[in-house]
Structure 1
C-alpha cells in the first residue's frame, strides 16, 4: 500500500504514515494530499486533524470538506519536540506553524529575540537548520542526525502534547464499521437554534460527541460548515437515525459521511 503525507522525510506525519503503509510519498500541503487521494493517485493519505494543545488543523478541515474522501482510521501519537541546530548560536527558529505554537512558552522564555519562521513542515525546518548555522529547527530529536545538535528536548508547552491524524482514502473504501465516525454538515442556513437542532439528534440517542467544529463555508459571511465526530459506528441504527434527522435539517445543503473507523496509538 502506498500513502502520501506531509514531507519531507522525517515529519511527524511521515512517522504516522509509516504505521499504515510500506511506501510513503510526500507533498508540501494538506490540501494537495487530500486532492491526490480524492483523485485515486494514492491508496491512503495521512493528514493531521487535531492537536491537544493547538486544537484543530483548519487546512485539513477545509480540505476534507472540499473534496470527496473517506476517513478509514485515526492515528494518535505523542509529540516530543526538540530544538535542533548546528550550534547554540542562532537567530531564527524555523518549523511548522503548529510546532512553533506548541512550543510558544519555551521559545518566549529562552529565545525571546529569535525570529520565528513558519515553514511547510517540521522536517523542512530541520532541513533549513542543517543548511544554515543561523537557523534552529523544531522536530523529533531523532531528526538531528550527525549534522545537528539537540539543544533541548521536550520543549513543547505540555508533556501531554499529542496529535491526531486522519487516514483518508477514496470514497469507495469508506466503512460503516468502527468505534468512531465523522460527518461534515453544510446546512446552507442560518437561524437561531440551528446548531442546537443539529446536535439534538445525537443527545436524543445517547451518542457522545467527541468533537464539533465550525468553519466558514466561503459562500457568505456568517455561513458555516460543521465537522462532527461521534462515538458510534455508522452501522448502528441510532447513528443512522441521527444522521437522517440531520439530513432533514440540512435539506437545502448537504451531509457528507466520511465513514467509521478505529483508533491506533503509535508511540515514537
Structure 2
C-alpha cells in the first residue's frame, strides 16, 4: 500500500506519511492528494490539517468538503525548523508559507532585511537552497547535508509547535471505531442562532468539540461549510443522536461523516 502526500521527499508530510507506509508517492498540492485518494488511485493519503501556531490549513478543509474521502487516523508530529544554507551569506529565505509564518518572530529579529518567499513545500525550498548559494531554506535539520549546513536550529516561535495530519482513505474504508471523529456540515441556510443550534446537540450530550472551523461554501457570499472535530466515536449512541439533530438542522444541505480514528504521535 503506497501513501501519497505533499512532496518532494523531505517534507514534514513525508515524515508523517512514513508512519503509514514505507512506500510514499508525492503530489504538489493538497487538493491533488485528496483527489488521488477519492478516485482510488491511492489507498491512503496524508495531509496537514492544523498547526498549533498558524491554525487550520484551509486548502485541506476545502478539499475535504469537495471530495468523498474518509479519515482513518490522525498523526501528530512536533515541528522543528532550522535555517539551511550553503553558507551564512544569503539574501533570500524560501520555504512553505506555513513554515515562514511559524518562524516569523525569529526571522524578524535575526534576519529583518532578508527577503522571504513562499514555495510549494519546505522540501522544495531545501531543493532551491541546494541549487542556489544565495538562498536559505527553512526545514527539518535532518535535511542538511549534500551542500547544506544548519545555520540556526529550533527557530520556530513556539517550542510546542506541532502539526496534525489526517490519514485519508476511500469512503468504504471509513470506520466508526476510534476516540475522535470528524464531520463536514453544510446547512445551506442562514438565520440568527444557526451556529448555536449546530453546537447544542453536542453540548447537550457532553461531547467535547476539539475544533470548529467555518469555510466559505463557494455558492454565495455569507454561505458557509462547517468542519467539526469531537472527542467521541461514531460508534457511541450519543454521537449518533447528536448527528441526527444536526442532519435535521441541515436538511436543506448535507452532513458528511469523515469517520472515527485514533491519534498517533510521530517524533
Report the TM-score when normalising by structure 1: 0.99
Q: Which runs of 5+ in 2 are unaligned?
A: none
Q: Which residue of 1 aligns with 2:146?
A: 146
Structure 1 stretches (4+) deviating beyond 2 angstroms? none
Question: Residues of 2 paired with 1:141 and 1:45: CA distance?
Answer: 25
Question: 2:47 touches 2:166 (CA, 8 Å); kept in 1?
Answer: yes
Question: 2:130 touches 2:146 (CA, 8 Å); kept in 1?
Answer: no
Residue 157 (1) aligns with residue 157 (2): yes
Question: Residues of 1 paired with 2:192 and 2:153: CA distance?
Answer: 48
- TM-aligned CA deviation for residue 145 of structure 1: 1.7
Q: Which residue of 2 aligns with 1:235?
A: 235
1:191-230 equivalences in 2 (<5 Å)? 191-230=191-230
Deviation per residue, 1:176-235 (Å, 9 max, x gap): 000000000000011100000000000000000000000000001100000000000000
Q: CA RMSD in A?
A: 0.5
- TM-aligned CA deviation for residue 95 of structure 1: 0.3
Question: Residues of 1 paired with 2:57 and 2:10: CA distance?
Answer: 19
Q: Which residue of 2 aligns with 1:7?
A: 7
Q: Which residue of 2 aligns with 1:182?
A: 182
Q: Which residue of 1 aligns with 2:80?
A: 80
Q: Which residue of 2 aligns with 1:169?
A: 169
Q: Which residue of 1 aligns with 2:65?
A: 65
Question: 2:174 touches 2:258 (CA, 8 Å); kept in 1?
Answer: yes
Secondary structure at the residue paired with 2:200?
A: helix
Question: Residues of 2 paired with 1:167 and 1:114: CA distance?
Answer: 36
Question: Residues of 1 paired with 2:229 and 2:197: CA distance?
Answer: 16
Q: Which residue of 2 aligns with 1:37?
A: 37
- TM-aligned CA deviation for residue 50 of structure 1: 0.2
Secondary structure at the residue paired with 1:232?
A: coil
Question: Residues of 2 paired with 1:93 and 1:194: CA distance?
Answer: 44
Q: Which residue of 1 aligns with 2:97?
A: 97
Question: Residues of 1 paired with 2:174 and 2:266: CA distance?
Answer: 22
Q: Which runs of 5+ in 1 are unaligned?
A: none
Count of aligned positions: 267
